[in-house]
Amino acid sequence: MNFSEVFKLSGLLSKFSPDGKYLASCVQYRLAVREVSTLQILQLYTCLDQIQHIEWSADSLFILCAMYKRGLVQVWSLEQPDWHCKIDEGSAGLVASCWSPDGRHILNTTEFHLRITVWSLCTKSVSYIKYPKACQQGITFTRDGRYMALAERRDCKDYISVFVCSDWQLLRHFEADTQDLVGIEWAPNGCVLAVWDTCLEYKILLYSLDGRLLASYCAYEWSLGVKSVAWSPSSQFLAVGSYDGKVRILNHVTWKMITELAHPTTINNPKIIVYKEAEKNPKLGLGALPFAAPRAAARSLSTTETKYEVASMPVSLQTLKPVTDRANPRIGVGTMAFSPDNYFLATRNDNIPNAVWIWDVQKLRLFVVLEQLAPVRTFQWDPQQTRLAIGTGGGHVYLWSPAGCMSVQVPVEGELAQTGQLWAHWACLILGPHWPPTDPQARAAQGPQWLSDPVSLQVISTCSPCAGI
């Protein structure tokens, strides 16, 4: 595995272009675009204020830089460095900005979710969408970029509007049968919309593209409900993670539950492999004195090399005791991801934070459990191969594939690694051995993010105390 040198970064803003050719990174109000193959700076743009959000357009031609504090969005073109575009939301304010799938429209959400403004780069036209709902995931585009579903709130009722992205025409508008809608997500085939209710109620609704209610599912009552939802890439399965620590998988024919994946704290099935991260025996050199500095002990996790060990069978995993009298308790399945080849599902149960559970979707049973030394922050599947990258916020990136798993230490220079503050301004990038891809087109929109995400997460984890700087 190859590593690049360390680049400076602010606000954890660093993104690969969807075609995998470029890398955009921000330092304060400057945006640098590098070519991935050479890592040379291709373009350098200067924005009006400190950049808070960047996003590549789907065709990798434009970059959107949002400065929420100023209510400003600046768009840069990679092909025409001189081309510029500045969108000012004025007194309405700005809380979110994103590209439409066609890469020619920008959707800005004003403060207080008063409206969404759709700015077009092709025409002078501006569209407004009123009453957007402020929720976890209120906007979703179909994979082909044709339709957008938007959650709305009018008269204390939830509505869903389906827009045609090409001309922002309202296609369907229907009331959702929810108390307090929290998220919507299109199926990858773009024909079914999954809608889930607030965590107070376990409710999953499935709507067809034309607004028909296909099915509704409720596993239990009187308890905290859905925490996360994930579609399988084939649209065959809908995985629903809930606060009871279980994942329920619904099928796409009857929309009934096929199986229930519990996350037990003790694993006693010899068919399941449990990989346990363990520290390699640190070499006791001259520098490693018995009275090591506490700071050294603190960073030991990020600097010492670790390895995986196959645990012998009755394995009990570390659990957190959730604080139940606080909102958003750390229980339940909060993160889920299907592998792109549809064979595996990776999950994390929030009260067993150190473990990643990998389920075999074909057999619908637990396949592998990875227990890390530190809580798992994020994981992402490689869009090309069956490979999972896991970030825990330490100095390591972990990779799992059906063949096995490994722990990779990120090489950072000693003085950089020692102080957490420096980590806030620098990002290190891990580049895989197959990087860059020989065929850029083959790399789909998610491609580069696979590698970038664990890295950026690593930055998040270490710099969070001084994010304000």
Partner 1 sequence: MSPSSLYSHHVLCSSIPLSKNVQSFFSAFCTEENIEQSISYLDQELTAFGFPSLYEESKDRDAKRELNIVAALNCMNELLVLQRKNLLAQENVETQNLKLGSDMDHLQSCYAKLKEQLESSRREMIGLQERDRQLQCKNRNLHQLLKNEKDEVQKLQNIIASRATQYNHDMKRKEREYNKLKERLHQLVMNKKDRKIAMDVLNYVGRADGKRGSWRTGKTEARNEDEMYKILLNDYEYRQKQILMENAELKKVLQQMKKEMISLLSPQKQKPRERADDSTTVLSDVEDDAGEVSRESVWDLSCAAVREQLTNSIRTQWRILKSHVEKLDNQVSKVHLDGFNEDDVISRQDHEQETEKLELEIQQCKEMIKTQQQLLQQQLTTASDDDTTSLLRDCYLLEEKERLKEEWSLFKEQKKNFERERRSFTEAAIRLGLERKAFEEERASWLKQQFLNMTTFDPQNSENVKLFSAFSGNSDRDTLTVHSRPRQRQPHSVCRRSPVSTSKLTKSLPTSPASDFGQTRSCASEHSSSNALNITHEEAKPNQVGRECLSQSRSLVPRPGSQEGCYNGCPLTCTNSHVEEDNLL
Q: Which residues are near partner 1 by CB under 8 A?
A: 59, 77, 82-92, 102-104, 112, 114-115, 119-126, 130, 146-147, 153, 155-156, 164, 167, 169, 171, 179-180, 189-191, 200, 208-210, 222
Peptide bond into 322 cis (omega under 30): no
SS3 276: strand
């083959």: which residue's tokens? 442
- In the bound state with partner 1, the residue whose beta carbon lies nearer, of 222 and 291, is 222
CB of 337 to partner 1, least distance (A): 24
β-strands 273-279, 365-371: how paired? parallel
Is residue 280 a contact partner of residue 373, using CB atoms and an 8 Å limit? no
CB atoms inside a 10 Å sphere around CB 126: 11
- In the bound state with partner 1, the residue whose beta carbon lies nearer, of 92 and 373, is 92
- In the bound state with partner 1, the residue whose beta carbon lies nearer, of 18 and 454, is 18
Query: What is the C-alpha to C-alpha distance for residues 339 and 336, in angstroms, rounded to an integer?
Result: 10
Token pair recorded at residue 208: 């067809």
- In the bound state with partner 1, the residue whose beta carbon lies nearer, of 252 and 377, is 252
CB of 21 to partner 1, least distance (A): 17
CB of 57 to partner 1, least distance (A): 9
- In the bound state with partner 1, the residue whose beta carbon lies nearer, of 236 and 380, is 236
- In the bound state with partner 1, the residue whose beta carbon lies nearer, of 126 and 296, is 126
- In the bound state with partner 1, the residue whose beta carbon lies nearer, of 8 and 53, is 53
- In the bound state with partner 1, the residue whose beta carbon lies nearer, of 167 and 415, is 167
Q: How far apart are the first and last CA of the chain?
A: 32
CB of 186 to partner 1, least distance (A): 12
Q: Amino acid identity of 143? A: R
Give 419-462 as a DSSP string: -HHHHHHEE--EE-TTPSPS-GGGS-TTTTHHHHHHHHHHHHHH
Is residue 22 a contact partner of residue 16, using CB atoms and an 8 Å limit? yes
CB of 107 to partner 1, least distance (A): 13
- In the bound state with partner 1, the residue whose beta carbon lies nearer, of 163 and 338, is 163
CB of 263 to partner 1, least distance (A): 26
CB of 322 to partner 1, least distance (A): 19
Sign of CA dihedral 318, 418, 52, 81: negative
**Element spanning 393, H or E:** none
SS3 297: helix
CB of 237 to partner 1, least distance (A): 14
Query: What is the C-alpha to C-alpha distance for residues 428 and 259, in angstroms, rounded to an integer?
Result: 41
Query: What is the C-alpha to C-alpha distance for residues 68 and 58, in angstroms, rounded to an integer?
Result: 22
CB of 22 to partner 1, least distance (A): 18
Give the list of residues 6+ apart from residue 440 with CB closer than 8 angstroms, or none: 19, 20, 21
